[in-house]
Chains A and B, each alone.
Chain A
């Protein structure tokens, strides 16, 4: 059936999971490691057999910055290392942007911007989510 059924995009599957409140990532059995962002091909092995898994949503702040726009309030942008072994860009909410610390434990929650925009994952300090 592959000739008549186009593959679903990795992004569409990822966003569908987010709509259900889940942070999904891929695992490559061939490489024995997590893959993120979601793809059609495992970059470590070339395998197209990638499993979708659901993250427990816990991670650690790996790097952090505070963006100072010319208009509006400063905001946080961070790289989060999830415990399953993948890294993603996100932000830490519920604390001041400059209070976000490398090494801080954080927990996922989904952010729904509304309208046409897709949901995306944000994080809060663990224990405060």
Chain B
């Protein structure tokens, strides 16, 4: 057990940078800085208040250094932990700890990617693994496809159930003006789409977009005086179970079980008390595994759980209300966008896609190939 208290830190500002296909020549650090200034404006703080920088990008090995230079923050406390898409959920935990220890007083967590503009191969250089690379898995999709094949074999999960996840995400995206995808999607569209790595078609796979953004964190005490309703960090947890898919201990159960348990325990909440779920949907199988591993349904039941629009607008659980990585945006690493959407839901500012009376959110990040799992439970001030 650690000494970071439930609700001691809060997210006070949140904003996206430009999304989709950004202007020519834009850099990942440009987008981090743009997101930072927008997130600061969102909460009424200024760049002068910032003394903590947390960031990661696949397009630079030393992004904290680059961002400190760009924003001229020589004295900032920095952390550029990078474990894939869940890095930003881990940054929330690290920022909460740094705030508790007084290592910084206003922390910015920032992300930027120009993956669509520069191309996927440029944006994310694949490491050579002599035990996997010769077999030419199309990574990361093939790793998730292998996990899906196992779930289908063990639990009878179907491609149609996977497609339900993509269709639900699209229905949410149609309620989000910032979403990349603007047209309806049917189960037949998903099933008939170009196959990438069986059983995953291109519509089972996340988008390839540009984008970035930032969130601002401070102590909940200080947060009370700022412009927006604070969103306290109630709990967090992480588990890094493997790096390559060959070493995943069980292809049907992720580290979300452990990271979620830790986050729930710290928050004093369980899945039945979660109003909004933001689950890292790089592929449709992710949502199904995370619904199971985070306790929203029993192991093996995820496919049946999502049937008949159960996670679409008006369904039994609000999941990925911005449209997710499948239909809203997915610039290489998606974890920060989960946090931004959860904050907006808990503030009650989501407009057409607002979940009525949302007071708690489970934000679950995924990095690598089901490798680095990180969960954050957020709440409204009413939950303190």
Contacts and interface: CB of A to CB of B under 8 A. Distances in A.
Interface of A: 11, 37, 62-69, 74-75, 77-79, 87-91, 98, 102-103, 113, 117-118, 120
Interface size class of B (residues with CB under 8 A): 20 to 34
Interface in B175-209: 194-199
Nearest to A69: B138
B194 A68 contact: yes
A91 B145 contact: no
B142 interface: yes
A89 B132 contact: yes
B196 A68 contact: yes
Interface string B230-264: 00000000000000111100010000000000000
Contacts of A120: 134-135
B130 interface: yes
Identify the 5 closest CB pairs spanning chains A and B, nearest first: A65-B145, A63-B146, A66-B198, A68-B195, A120-B134
Most buried by B among A63, A68, A88, A103: A63
A79 B131 CA distance: 11
13 contacts: A63-B150, A65-B146, A65-B197, A66-B198, A74-B195, A77-B142, A88-B131, A88-B246, A89-B132, A89-B245, A90-B135, A102-B150, A120-B134
B150 A67 contact: no
Contacts of B134: 113, 117-118, 120
Contacts of A64: 146, 149
Contact of A65 (B130, B198, B247): B198
Contacts of B198: 65-66, 68, 98
Most buried by B among A77, A91, A102, A103: A77
Contacts of A113: 134
Interface string B139-154: 0001001110110010
Contact of B136 (A75, A78, A102, A117): A75
Given A68-B198, A79-B246, A11 B130 contact: yes
B351 interface: no
Interface of B: 130-132, 134-138, 142, 145-147, 149-150, 153, 194-199, 244-247, 251
B136 A89 contact: no
B138 A87 contact: no
B142 A87 contact: no
B151 to A, nearest CB: 10
A75 B136 CA distance: 9
A120 to B, nearest CB: 4
Nearest to A100: B149
Most buried by B among A66, A87, A90, A98: A66
Contacts of B138: 67, 69
A6 B142 CA distance: 37
A67 B131 contact: no
Contacts of B146: 63-65, 77-79
Contact of A118 (B130, B196, B244): B130
Given A37-B131, A118-B130, A62 B150 contact: yes
Nearest to A117: B134
A12 to B, nearest CB: 10
Contacts of B130: 11, 118
Contacts of A118: 130, 134
Nearest to A111: B134
Given A64-B149, A88-B131, A98-B198, A79 B245 contact: yes
Nearest to A101: B153
Nearest to B131: A37
Contacts of A11: 130
Given A63-B251, A68-B194, A68-B198, A89 B147 contact: no
